[in-house]
Amino acid sequence: MPAEKQPVPFRGAGFDPTPRRFASWIAFAGILLAWQAASSTGLLPELFMPSPDAVLSALARMSASGELWLHLGTSIRRIVLGFLLGAFAGLLLGLAMGIFSMARAVGLPIVSALFPIPKIALLPLLILWFGIGETSKVATIALGVFFPTAVAAKTAVDGVARNLIRMAQSFGTPASAIVWKIVLPGALPGILGGLRIAASIALILVTAAEMIGAEYGVGALVLGAGNLMQTDKLVAGVVLLSLMGLAVSFGIGLLERRLLRWR
């Protein structure tokens, strides 16, 4: 009989992400410092990559001349408009596909067929339909946002625990109340996850949409700087895009915390 006790070491540590507030900042600063050092010492020629210092001064110059705000404002308007349109339509279709069998039978194959089409490939068509003005740019973004939102909404509705719905039904709750009080809140985390992806797609597509006929916008700035070989402005534009990405991610995080407080 095993009478003696064997000491058991604690093995439960790790695999438990905890916030490390400063680590990310330190890593970021380290990369920037190394980059600046490589530029300053001439290890990284200005011809191939501008120094962080040059990028910052490009940003400062554009900000002083007002050019920066014009580009940012134009792009943000396009993104917000396209995102709202695409997300609203995508949510409607996605929820309908999640709730109604008929909508699913008709919609799902169509969405699945159209989702993988690169929206950038459709750009010439969109320009034929909507011209080279704002409409085609907003439409490109809206299309890009529509599909991931629709798929996420449908999947999220599918994921709502059926036993909750059955329980509500056994209490005689009307169908509309079940949708409002159980299906929608239950699907919300999934929907917000989908919107997070859709927002990133909107940012990617704004650059593509602004390839054609755009005088202003962050995408137009990046492309124009590329055409002019103004690498400092180009990297400045890329920094703007990534800052916009961070802002969107932060905004959706805020939305998640507010809307999902019930969890």
Partner 1 sequence: MRARFGIVAAILAAIATPAAAAEKASVGALAFVSSAPIFIAKEKGYFERQGLDVEVKFFQAAQPIAVAVASGDVDFGITGLTGGFFNLAAKGALKMVAAQSREEPGFNFVGYLVTPKAYEAGFKTVKDYPGKTVGITTVGSTFHYNIGMLADKYGFKLSDVSLKPLQTVPNMVAAMKGGQVDSILLPANQALGLERDGAGKIIGWVHEHTPWQLGALFTSTSNTTAKRSTVQKFVDAYVMACADYAAAFHDRDASGKRVFGPKADALIPILQKYVKPEPNADQVKASVSFIDPQGRLMVRDLYNQVAWYKAQGMVDASADAKTMMDLGFLKQHLDLPN
> How many C-alpha atoms does 172 have within 13 Å on its Cβ side?
0
Which positions lie near partner 1, rule CB under 8 A?
46-48, 124, 127-128, 131-133, 211-215, 220, 223-224, 227-230
Between CA 252 and CA 78 the distance in angstroms is 18
Q: Looking at beta carbons only, is 170 or 227 nearer to partner 1? A: 227
Tokens representing residue 175 in the block = 């169908």
In angstroms, the CA 57 to CA 68 distance is 12
Closer to partner 1 by Cβ: residue 57 or 155: 57
Q: What is the smallest separation between the CB atom of 214 and partner 1, expressed in angstroms?
A: 7
Q: H/E/C letters for each residue in 143-212?
A: HHHHHHHHHHHHHHHHCCCHHHHHHHHHCCCCHHHHHHHHHHHHHHHHHHHHHHHHHHHHHHHHHHHCCC
Q: How far is the CB of 193 from partner 1 (least distance, A)?
A: 35
CB 220 within 8 A of CB 214: yes
Q: Which is nearer to partner 1, 131 or 174 (CB)?
A: 131
Question: Do 151 and 194 form a contact (C-beta atoms < 8 A)?
Answer: yes
The DSSP output letter for 119 is: G
Query: Minimum Å distance from CB 37 to partner 1?
Result: 20
Question: Whose structure tokens read 């999902």?
Answer: 260
**Minimum separation from the CB atom of position 145 to partner 1 (A):** 24
Report in angstroms how near the CB of residue 228 gets to partner 1 at its nearest.
4
Give the count of beta carbons closer than 10 Å to the beta carbon of residue 46.
12
Residue 41 or 227 with smaller CB distance to partner 1: 227
CB of 67 to partner 1, least distance (A): 9
The Cα 42–Cα 45 span in angstroms is 6
Residue 39 or 149 with smaller CB distance to partner 1: 39
Q: Among residues 158 and 215, whose Cβ is nearest to partner 1?
A: 215
Cα 21 to the center of its chain, rounded Å: 23
CB of 86 to partner 1, least distance (A): 24
Q: Which is nearer to partner 1, 92 or 122 (CB)?
A: 122
